[in-house]
Chain A
């Protein structure tokens, strides 16, 4: 065992950081609003992963409770977000982030 490292909380945190960053980059470069949502979900998951890892490190259940709430939030967000997209797509099918530039300046 000594030769092989055991994953510590830190590992998870770094992983979460990576996923978070990927999510951020995704929001920046994807044009499809749906995919942008997905990237935001990635970011939320990174946060969740961090919470759980830190809960483990701290020996504190609170971090896990938070994740539960976050999942609710994520669900609600997705519902509203998809509702928005549906409403928009009804009028402007296949619209992308780059097309929604009526308001600017």
Chain B
């Protein structure tokens, strides 16, 4: 019962948030809706026995990423309302609707018909058990850590490269053009 309630409530957060991102005119509101969704997902993570991820979700996603979004919005003053009533491309929105409906139906069908019970040889579980097989409070973290630093150590190292790229990239992008340099706007087309 409680699971059901949690699921419904969290799903509502997720969906409302998601719709909010798409439909709120103000970028700040959109960002805040995103937070809602992220929290909802975090709740689901907990329900799905991914405690550590739930925490990371809140800290990294909601805490860092969205804040970054908001920061940029404020920095650039991109707080202008987006008029969602006008759409320069007449077909864009009908297409979007059709695509949305079709996609949700197709993906829905695809995942809905998948079976929950079919796993013949279930994996080793998402949490590490104790000596006697009792559940450990940090079983999930240990399992995750073993997996990440063991099996996926190459991927983990790769993320470091990814982050280097992100850092260097931001440096390159953020550098201002030196004064006096002519620009070649419009000359490209």
Contacts and interface: CB of A to CB of B under 8 A. Distances in A.
A touches B in complex, CB < 8 A = yes
Given A62-B147, A67-B53, A75-B60, A85 B72 contact: yes
Contacts of A68: 53, 56, 144, 148
A16 B14 CA distance: 9
Interface residues of B, number: 92
Contact of A31 (B41, B69, B82, B146): B82
Given A62-B147, A94-B80, A38 B31 contact: yes
Contacts of B112: 10, 13-14
B87 interface: yes
Interface residues of A, number: 80
B76 A20 contact: no
Interface in B145-189: 146-148, 151-152, 155-156, 159, 162-163, 165-167, 169-170, 173-174, 176, 186, 188-189
B114 A61 contact: no
A21 B188 CA distance: 36
B133 interface: no
A102 B4 CA distance: 51
Interface of A: 1, 4-26, 28-32, 34-35, 37-39, 41-42, 45, 48-50, 52-53, 55-65, 67-69, 71-80, 82-87, 89-90, 93-94, 96, 98, 102-103
